[in-house]
Amino acid sequence: MNKKGFGVLIAVLVVLLIVVTATAGWGVWQLRQIEKEVSGADLTEELSAAPTPTNTTAATDDTTSKPAATVTPIEDPGITWTVPPELIADQPLYSDAAIKYTGEEKIRYYKIGTTENDSDIILSLFPEMGMGASYRTFRFFKDQDSKISFIGNSSDSDRDLLEDNASVLNTDIAYNSTKLRSVTVPDFLDYKGEVLEKTSSPFSTEISDVIYQETSTWTKGDLTENGQTFIKTVEQTNNKSFNMQNVVLRLPDYTLAYYLIKPNFVTDNEVPIITWSEGTKNTTIYNKGGLGGHCGSSGFYDAIVTDATASRFTEAGTTSKGAKVYVPKDTSDILYEEAYANYIVGRDSASGADKPIAEDVFVTKKPIFLYKDGLDRYVFFDSQDFAALAECGKPVIYLYPEKTTDVLVKVGADITVSEPEYNDGWLATADPSGRLIVDGQTYNSLFWEGQGKGEYPVINSGFVVETKNIESTLKSHLTQLGLNSKESADFMTFWLPKMPTTKYTRLTWFGTHQMDKLAPLTVSPKPDTSIRIFLDYQGLDKP
């Protein structure tokens, strides 16, 4: 059985220390594979190390994949791209206010090309506010006299980050009106007979020599006029029936954009236009980003069925465009099994009208269907009617300033419950003891529940422990993660009674980098250091 987990944030500021805790159920992402329970030192390293594990299966340019037809790439006359981009020293591009704004997050600089006049083209990745790791992409020309100009038409906005809408750039940097067509990210791609739509992920402008270090498998795809494509696959441990994929477009300067299929039979309201085999019309919302209903969005990947063969499926209906959709022939297929396990999350202890339906009834309600796309993949859709009933569970924020400080805290989530009342953020007066005063009332922490607005990634790692040892294991982990006695006691009091009763339990911890993607946190004044921890757990019958 799967449950939502718990997360904690601890942020340390020269001015302010913040601790945030929260939990969630299954459906989380992890950037390193953990295949066994590890020691305390290893656990601490997992959460403190930069999330750049080695990827031994990363795609390289010496693969034998060839384009299906002659492709004429979009070019900018006189531009020669540096392949691969060259990491260079810091450049004098940004104002003092902008440097202060980024805090501990490092601005990165790359030489990505040259012009016919021997000017360098520089790419800079500028961290966004909110203790996260999303970036603005800025491009510049630097001539032989070291004069720098900003290529504003081929960059993200340099404004709306600082107060008074000020630019992040130094005042001596001129604006250049050039538009580099070859590094313009298209909103849509025509690819193998499918329309691909760029995702809204805030992490789509990373440069590829960084992205390739993630623990995922990349397969070289077709060359398009916009650049080389790759299929990125992320395996899961919580769902064996499908993997998560997106199509990645690498532009000539090696920046990346991520795409998902946009099926031509699905409305903007996510209702597939299907006539089922018995003649009825579909009116239900279906999700193609993996089993839905969790703490954050699953809309950054397409769920692709593994071990998919035509003999495994049977026709279930026809789309408005004449394509067939399918369901498993066997009602005990793992696709149904995992969809049902997801459906009972949040309903397993309900009674009366809210009691979950039996599995044999569930499979008759069209909870899932499959669509074979132009990439020869079976795309998994699951019904919103049978999504898990789960949210980010009891995230708690503790604030510890060095002196009494007024602190504004905002969370990137759709908050359903909060204490004190969230409104448009919390404005708290915090003292070094951790006491908070909000609207004249005293609190020990800031509490919220809801849906994170960021990506809720796939789970591909964790610690499997015997549930009889769960109390001692959690206490040990919380100590290693840096929680004090009060914070650990709060965690244990609330969550220990909610732990699974199965023989084994999977515990997956995530740190600040991952939590800032799921539910970005904005704190003013900005902490110099922050620690956020998050637990995703799942009951298991066997290790």
Which region among 128-137, 225-234, 276-285, 295-304 has the lowest average model confidence (pLDDT)? 128-137
Q: Which residue has the tokens 């995530």?
A: 510
Alpha-carbon dihedral 507, 50, 407, 200, rounded to 10 degrees: -80
Can you give the pLDDT at residue 189? 95
Between 2-6, 39-43, 433-437, 440-444, the lowest mean confidence (pLDDT) is in 39-43
Q: Look at residue 106 in the predicted model and tell me its pLDDT.
A: 83
Query: What is the percent of the chain with per-residue pLDDT over 70, rounded to a whole number?
Result: 77
Helix axis angle, 470-480 to 40-48, nearest 10°: 50
Question: Phi/psi at 7 (nearest 5 deg)?
Answer: -125, 155
* Dist CA 262 CA 308 (whole Å): 21
**Count of beta carbons in the 10 Å neighbourhood of residue 503:** 13
**Nearest in space to 509 (alpha carbons), one of 29, 54, 17, 105:** 29
Q: Say what the pLDDT of residue 402 is.
A: 82
- Whether residue 8 is predicted with pLDDT greater than 80 in this model: the reply is no
Supply the DSSP string of 475-535, one letter for each residue. HHHHHHTT--HHHHHHHHHHHGGGS--SSEEEEEEE-HHHHHHHS-EEEESPPSEEEEEEE
pLDDT at 481: 80
User: What is the percentage of the chain residues whose pLDDT exceeds 90?
Assistant: 41
pLDDT the model gives residue 104: 61
Band (39; pLDDT cuts 50, 70, 90): very low
Residue bearing the bigger pLDDT, 526 or 440: 440
Q: What is the pLDDT of residues 251-283, one digit of tens each?
A: 999 988 889 999 999 998 899 999 999 999 999
Average pLDDT over all residues of the chain: 79
On the question of pLDDT at 498 being above 50, the answer is: yes
Highest mean pLDDT among 162-166, 204-208, 417-421 belongs to: 417-421
Reply yes or no on whether the pLDDT at 222 is more than 60: yes
Amino acid at the residue 383: S
- In this prediction, residue 213 has a pLDDT band, given cuts at 50, 70 and 90, of very low
The phi and psi torsions of 341 (rounded to 5 degrees) equal: -60, -35
Over residues 162-172, mean pLDDT: 87
Residue 269 confidence (pLDDT): 86
Position 327 confidence tier, pLDDT thresholds 50, 70, 90: very high
pLDDT value at residue 483: 81
343-402, pLDDT tens digit by residue? 887 777 667 777 899 999 999 999 999 999 999 999 999 998 998 776 566 678 888 888
Is the pLDDT at 160 greater than 80, yes or no? no
- Residue 341 clears pLDDT 80, i.e. is over it: yes
According to the per-residue pLDDT averaged within each range, which of 53-67, 118-132, 323-337, 464-478 is highest?
A: 323-337
104: exposed, middle or buried (Cβ count in 10 Å: 0-12, 13-18, 19+): exposed
Residue 38 has pLDDT above 50, yes or no: no
**For residue 197, pLDDT beyond 70:** yes
pLDDT at 234: 78
18 pLDDT more than 70? no
CA 252 to centroid of chain Cα atoms: 25
Q: In this model, does residue 88 exceed pLDDT 90?
A: yes
Give the pLDDT confidence of 502-515 residue by residue, as tens digits: 899 888 887 776 77
Q: Would the pLDDT of 3 be above 70? A: no
- With H, G, I as helix, E, B as strand and everything else as coil, classify residue 339: helix
pLDDT, residue 169, reads: 95
Per-residue pLDDT averaged across 328-356, rounded?
85
Name the strand (E) or helix (H) holding 404: none
User: Are 34 and 194 a contacting pair, CB within 8 Å?
Assistant: no
Is the Cβ–Cβ distance between 483 and 19 less than 8 Å? yes
Most confident of 86-95, 229-238, 510-519: 86-95
- pLDDT value, residue 413: 80
pLDDT-based confidence at residue 25 (cuts at 50, 70, 90) = very low
Residue 298: predicted pLDDT:
57
pLDDT of residue 296: 56
**pLDDT for 457:** 54
pLDDT score, position 497: 85
> How high is the pLDDT of residue 293?
57
What span, in angstroms and rounded, lies between the C-alpha atoms of 161 and 130? 11
Query: pLDDT tens-digit profile of 450-471?
Result: 777 676 655 666 788 999 999 9
Q: How confident is the model at residue 533 (pLDDT cuts 50, 70, 90)?
A: confident
Q: Is the pLDDT of residue 333 over 90?
A: yes
